[in-house]
Structure 1
């Protein structure tokens, strides 16, 4: 597994998108101080999940977002992508490459991705557990990490050893198990507290329930006793009725023997009895019909109650549906406003993209125009150079001719002067006199001119006066001129005549002057050409500077256009998503509207049904009243007819005195029988009115009665007394107790489950600690052995030791580092020099790599405190380990740079903005700038 590339945008000083391609072996990251080298390390730590702003050299997490410069606006997002190769399958993801991405927006929103899929920070950290990669692992070694390794606190050194031992995930799982154990204990305490409250309610309701059940049992037993009493009475009446019926039959038989004489009276009596019986039959039928009407009315009332409940449910559902519809309408309106806003923003973005494109075309035209000017200037400068060469050649030829001519003039002049007897002293004296005279004449003339001008300005006198004043000095000037002419003749006489030949237009002096004039003209032309070339070169330099500015601006415009086009595409996608959401919400709104209409329809149907039932109940009540009136009329009629019957029987008795005693006994028995029947009917009616049940249902039980009536009444009194002794009774206690009992049993089961979970967590924690201790001990012993070897190699001798502060507590013990460089005593690492401390930390790093190598390692200026000899040993070790691991080192040391196979340069062409340059060393040289 190797670090393949790092892509940054908006992270700290990387305002523009920068892609760094890493190779295997050793890579050196170079650049002047303050150019952003350490920002590369910060970016890798950040994308791997670093949350401590201090470790990122920031006050707030938002400080990692590019904050702008004088020439660049601040950005609103920091985006870093780290790509790793996973050919060896070391990471638990079935892909050859893994891209880790983290984005942070200025509003504080943060996102993490693995291969483009959004994940949690916890998922990201778990991916790198025990790989040597991560924010706390030894894959990133910087001055702060060296301070942690070499800290005076042995406990702070454990992290590297734990990562190398591969127990980080076990420690995290152990801490997670401990947190779960704490939560389980908290849950147990909460459940125990709730269980205590429920137990109190459980015990109280159990007592109430037992009391209520006893009360119900007493009520049922009292009902049974009352039923038995009623049946006992019924049995007595039935037995009495049967007995009297038998007596009636006997008396009737006896009466029949004498009835022939009184058939007419008996016939009349029988007719009346038939009418009474018929009326009683009708009365029973009326009672049945009345009971049926009452039952039907009760059913209707129950239906009305159920329908009323459904009406409430429908109304509640309608209210909820209307609220939901309102919420959906608000959401649809909000989404539509958002789409309008997004479309407006997209249109404005499109206009800005068009403006940027126009600016790009403009700058391309400017660059093309500048290149054309530069090319034309180069051609002109080349032509001027050719002309300079030609003129210089011509000057050289003329100078040769001039030299020859000058030599000829000197030779001829010497010869002529010697032949003519020329006196140089005479010529000089005549020349001096002539010059003196000319000077006097000139001064005099100038004086007169000045005088005339002063007079003219002063305006003194008339013009004639001015002229007169000028004429006064004119004679003097004429005399002086004649003197000058005489001196001129004398000077001319002193000059040899052969000089006229030299000075003639076709003479040798004139030819020499012409040559000198030609040389001057040629040299002037050469100077002009060189000045023109300088002007052209200056113009080209200015045009080149402008072209660099134009190209830089053009590149920024293209980058901005790409970013704006990406934003425009994102806006279009967002608009599509929002429009899709609007469509979905409108469909939901339509469905809710249909459901709401259906609910209104069902509500209306239910209300109509209630009204129909109420109408039916009203009809049943009227029918019940009619039946009750008819029953009252029948009872009245029966009573009236019975009274008439008795009267007729009495009348018959008086008329039938002759029948004697037999007839009287018959009549007495018949009256007793009628009374018994009335009492039986009364028993039935009273039982029905009291218990709403028919006594006929229990007639089979009547045959099983064994107790006497007095025993039943005494038992009923005892039951009433026991019922009164119970006092107030909660009739709903059994049902309430059943609910509390179920909750009590549920909580008790939960408490049992929590106890089991607690024991399981304790066992898991103990297993994790045992396994972690074994792994840590094994890795610690390996690192300890390797540390001594690496220390001797890096220091060229000496020895080093690792010691556990508390060997009995392997998982919590700090680690002491003792070092003895060559020629020194064995002492604590805190007493070593800065270079020795750094080299000791490097030895520990490589010792750790020998136990569990990290796929890649970032070293941030850890060679800064090393001298030349130590740097050499360090680089040798670096090259050795670089064959199996990937090393990226930030350094200013030339030896360290020389050991690298790839050089990565960080520059700041623009103030505050970092750029990356990569150079591969060895074989073919490649230079890349991003």
Structure 2
């Protein structure tokens, strides 16, 4: 199994979907600081289930989602997919390839997938148990975690050994079994407590149940006696009811005969009464008509008076309306003059509004032109800023080239000086000799010059030949000295390294350096020009912005004035419209007034005609009143005769009514008695139903089967009640409650037995897991201990190292101490080692663990940062050796480590805040064989 690829989208700085494909062996992940290399490690930890935000270098989990840059919006989801090759089924899935995916939304929702199937975090972690892969296993060694592994408490350091011993799964299962055992024991205590309580209820309810059974038997017997008593009472009531029904039939017959006689008299009285009522009604109607005529006469008189008053009011109103008409006409004329004046003011104000609008347009156009100029200047500023950034980028590149060139110059100088055998001391000796000999020649020539001067100054001839010969000889000596000087110069020239000519040649490295320096000066000059241009644009924009502010203030004032003028125009128009409305209203009032005057004149004429008509109606009413008074006198005489006959019939009716009352009283008394008997029967039924929840009618067929008397039955009832009383208080629900408690008691007994068996099984399983884990851990610990010593000696070139259990008798709980003795030092705790020694010791422990159980892949995040060159060499050699069987992905800045990698993976940040990936395949000798600089994007 090895890590095939990782796909990252929206995680930290990976804004775009990026696919990183890994190969077997050693791969190096390169890139400048801050480009996002460690984010790849965080992504792998995160997808493997890391929940600690500090381990992911975040304050909260939502911080791992891409938070946006100046040029990009923030994302709402982060997703990482890890693809693993599973050819040997190291993972417990029968699939050649396994993908693990984690997705996080900004609202905090998190999802996990295995082969695109949703799973829980626990299932994902269980997938990697005892494989060496995991967020806290030894497959991921981060920057600083190596030192943390060595510095942790001894009890925490054992995690690496447990993972290598493949007991993590056993440990988790053991912990689960122990938790189940604790829960089982707690359940046993709870069940035992409940069982003891239920046992007390069981014993108490058993006694109560037996008492209740006897109580119910007595209740049944009591019910039987009570039923007999009630049936005897019912029989007595039914017999009394039959007797009263017969008496009621006789009394009802006598009453009905008297009622028939009374009905005959009533019919006669009613006939006379109808005639009297008819005549009285006619009399009343006649009286009403007379009263109505009287009222009508009074009403007609009142109408005549009212009509005359109304006519006078209309006459007065017509006079007033004519005066009002004159006032309204005058007011209309005044309002029309006012409208003409306001229309003139409106035209003058509209002229001012147009002038103000022109000013507004002028200043608005000025603001637009100035703003455009500011925008053009800003574009110039932005353009110059971009040019500066471009030039600065080129400067950075040139500085890097210059640094590399300088390094090459120094290296070539060192190499050339070594090859030429150049010696400063030898050069200084030859130079001193050369200058000494040259000074000697100067002195000799000066002496001969002085001698010749003496010759020319004295004018002596004697001995001239000898002097000339001596002078020639001395000049010959000077030739020899010059030859010696030439020899010394040649030797001095040989000490000068000839390779320097290549440096200063037109195509030489010095010339290239001078070219870069010249280009750097040119770029600095360009930057100064651009910055001066930016300054000019900025100053001009400041001045233009001030003008824009002035223009805007003026524009605001003009707009305010425009609003005020428009408001004034609107106000004038409103006044004109309101005045016109008032004029229209006055015209309307005038028309309505004139119309009302015409109507009033018509009503005045109509009132005069109405008065004449009403006076005619009053004369007709007086004639009808005389005829009705004659009819009224005739009716009063006839009614008096009929009333005398009705008084005689009423006396006869009164005598018959007295006899009927006595007969009715007898009937009602018998009916009352029957009602009381019926009520007693009904109460008997109801009482029986309420007491026993049964119908007494169900047992009526047994009425005539009872032979005992009520006294005997009551005596038997007293005996039964005494026995019930002797039982004392009784729990009526005891048998049912006892049945429920009995069922619960038996269930809890069964539960207690099951829990005891489960406890025994869990204790046995826990002991087996601990024994097997201890054996596996001990075997792995011994192998790692031996390998650690060997790895330490290989990496340090000697010395020795040990790991010891802090509690050898408690293997599964014991911590692990690490002791190291680099060459030339004494054995001491790792806490006393230097940073480089600690890192190298941790590397030794890592490789010692790999010798026992290699992880399918391993991520090493700058663990070589604290190592010197020689230690890095040994580390790389061992890394390449283990890379034959495991996959290593190394984040590093060290050239030697990079040289040992088969594949280079580069992380860059061309766009600020956004990481992307570049991969390069390298051959076995470190030569670039297949350059692949394609960006893997999703």
Q: TM-score range by the shorter chain?
A: 0.3 to 0.5
* TM-score, normalization by structure 1: 0.48
TM-score by length of 2: 0.47
